[in-house]
Amino acid sequence: MQISKKEMKIRLAELENLIRETRQRLPAHSTKPPIMMELLAYEDEYETLLTELNQIPDK
């Protein structure tokens, strides 16, 4: 099932918020692995979705 361009943009905005919030939870020292894994997962999904969005031709 393919999601629409509008849905992709909404999810990108959600991911931007999640990434920002997760970065704020990172301690300055002694980074917690679960938080870092969460951040990396959000960033990976963001990059993948952005790539997909940029491959869709404008109508």
Q: What single-letter amino acid sits at 56?
A: I
Tens of pLDDT, residue by residue over 3-54, are: 889 999 999 999 999 999 999 988 888 888 999 999 999 999 999 999 999 9
Kindly report the length of the chain: 59
What residue spans define the domains of the chain? 5-55
Q: Which two tokens stand for residue 5?
A: 């361009």
Closest to 27 measured CA to CA, from 19, 38, 35:
35
The pLDDT tens digits for 42-59 are 999 999 999 999 998 876
**Contact present, 11 and 49 (Cβ < 8 Å):** yes
Query: Interior CA angle at 3 toward 56 and 52, to 5°?
Result: 35
